[in-house]
Amino acid sequence: MEIIKEKEAEVFDFLDKELTSGKKWLVYEAGSVIKNSNELHCFKDPPGAKQYAHDNTSDFDRMVTESIRIFLETINKSNMNTQNLEYLQTNLKYFGFGDKLNEALEKNIKDEKAEFQLKVEIPHFNNKMDYTLHFKKSSQSDMYFFNRYDAALQNGKPELDKIQGFYVNKGHGITAKESFNLLEGRSVFKEMVNKEGEKYNAWLKLDFENSDQHGNYKIKQFSDQYGFNLDKTLANFPIKELSDPEQKKQLLSSLEKGNAQQVTVSKDGKEVKYYIEAVPQFKNINVYDQKMHTVRRQNIQDFKVNKGVGEGQKPAKKQEQKKDAEDGQPKQKQARKRKLSV
């Protein structure tokens, strides 16, 4: 039984008035799609409804007799399930999983499973990410919730694979691409909520040396109070994109998502491409060439900074810089593998 969406309000209003008038039973054609209220026939008692159904049933049309209240409950449940499905599908798009899981998601919800998992593989450059998404049915209703997902980074070297569980809070959280960037060792800028329900901004970075009781890497946070200002830090470098407001906005947004973003620097009268990434822990950025080999920051800071870009943030302390990629050596990759979260 379905009702055309545009006619739902009309049908509900009609049945509500019929209930108010004392009619409690409904007759309609089995398997039909209700296009308007004229296709519904209401009666005060079961005998009258059954007689009408009998008289109008043929070899081609079969009439159904049902309580109006049960009919409304069924329709409401169907609508709720549809809205729930659409909400979850919207969540999957927000998190970067696209629509490739929509069919499997709908099937599992129709099967009314208490909980289920969906798996999807997404390539990222030369690496591969395997995601396991966890869905659970509410104990209080028929609603399903997307609670968390596990992200596994595989780059062809099993000893360097990493796995992390990420929780979903009311449709918000770390996206699929951001989880890849975090497992690659980069930092992501997110809006957070503390125990008191207050919102604040912070850069997040996985601590590959320490894990929690669930086997997840612990997460380092660098809030605004920590003192890292990405905009001011970038002003220390003669990056062409900073001179254009729209390109600057896109650059900042990309870096905040944890991406290693390509930028343009003028060198000896020529434009040279580099990749940069935010390093909030050391209040700076890392710079790479086109082959993602580490480049000393001074190599491009020595170029004349574009006029009008503004004052830059002071360089990090020498003690901190020793720990960064500033020494010209590639960043050390971690070889520890973690369990999936539970």
Say how many C-beta atoms besides its own lie within 10 A of residue 173's C-beta: 18
By C-alpha distance, which of 115, 106, 178, 120 is closest to 146?
115
| Residue 53, pLDDT score | 93
Say how many C-beta atoms besides its own lie within 10 A of residue 141's C-beta: 10
The DSSP 8-state label assigned to residue 172 in this structure reads B
Q: Do 171 and 94 form a contact (C-beta atoms < 8 A)? A: yes
| Domain locations in the chain as residue ranges | 2-75, 95-223, 230-316
| Residue 35, pLDDT score | 87
Residues paired with residue 266 on neighbouring β-strands, in sequence order: 271
Q: Can you list the residues of the chain whose pLDDT is less than 50?
A: 305-312, 315-342
What whole-number distance in Å separates Cα of residue 126 and Cα of residue 291?
Answer: 13
Count of residues in the chain: 342
Residue 43 tokens, joined: 């009666």
Q: At what angle do helices 8-20 and 68-94 cross, to 10 degrees?
A: 150
What whole-number distance in Å separates Cα of residue 229 and Cα of residue 250?
Answer: 16
Our measurement of the distance from residue 178's CA atom to the centroid of its chain's CA atoms, rounded to an integer in Å, reads: 9
- Rounded to 5 degrees, what angle do the CA atoms 6, 20, 40 make? 45
Q: Do 164 and 216 form a contact (C-beta atoms < 8 A)? A: yes
Q: Which amino acid is at 227?
A: G
To which H or E segment does residue 263 belong? Answer: strand 261-267
| Residue 77, pLDDT score | 80
Q: Do 108 and 81 form a contact (C-beta atoms < 8 A)? A: no
| Residue 341, pLDDT score | 37
Our measurement of the distance from residue 5's CA atom to the centroid of its chain's CA atoms, rounded to an integer in Å, reads: 28
| Residue 313, pLDDT score | 53
